Amino acid sequence: MIDTNEFTKVVRGEVRNGVIRRRHWSEEEKGRIVAEAIAPGAVIAAVAHRHDLTPQHLSNWIRAAKQGRITLPTETLSFVPIEAEEASVMSPSSSHADGIEIVIGSAVIRVPAGSDARTLEKVVRAVARAFA
């Protein structure tokens, strides 16, 4: 019998018995899980829970992938570091003075300022698949 009154709280929790051990993930597994977590519409906490990880642990893996320390599967886009070049003076009549230029393989994508991000993402993914 449990005596409860206004000064007593009954707390229920999970008790785990047995040996607690660290899991070891292969680089391939880490890459697959990170790719799942960075997919459009994915929720990091849900992906982490599905793979028995903490969201913080998965976030660390995502950060490592951005730094190139974890390789993502080839069917997904990977993080690519951006290197800035010295700014050059462009003439106002230049066709892409108000946008950006993306080069993937031999393809050049010119993006005017104010372009729709969703459409741009679809185009970049399609071009990347073509050169994969």
Asked if 33 contacts 62 with a C-beta cutoff of 8 angstroms, the reply is no
Asked if 44 contacts 37 with a C-beta cutoff of 8 angstroms, the reply is yes
Give residue for tokens 């391939």: 28
Burial class (CB in 10 A: 0-12, 13-18, 19+), 95: exposed
pLDDT above 90 for 59:
yes
- Quick: pLDDT tens for 2-28: 555 556 665 566 666 656 567 888 999
- Quick: pLDDT tens for 97-121: 567 887 777 777 788 877 777 877 8
pTM above the 0.75 mark? no
Locate the domains of the chain by residue range.
23-81, 85-132
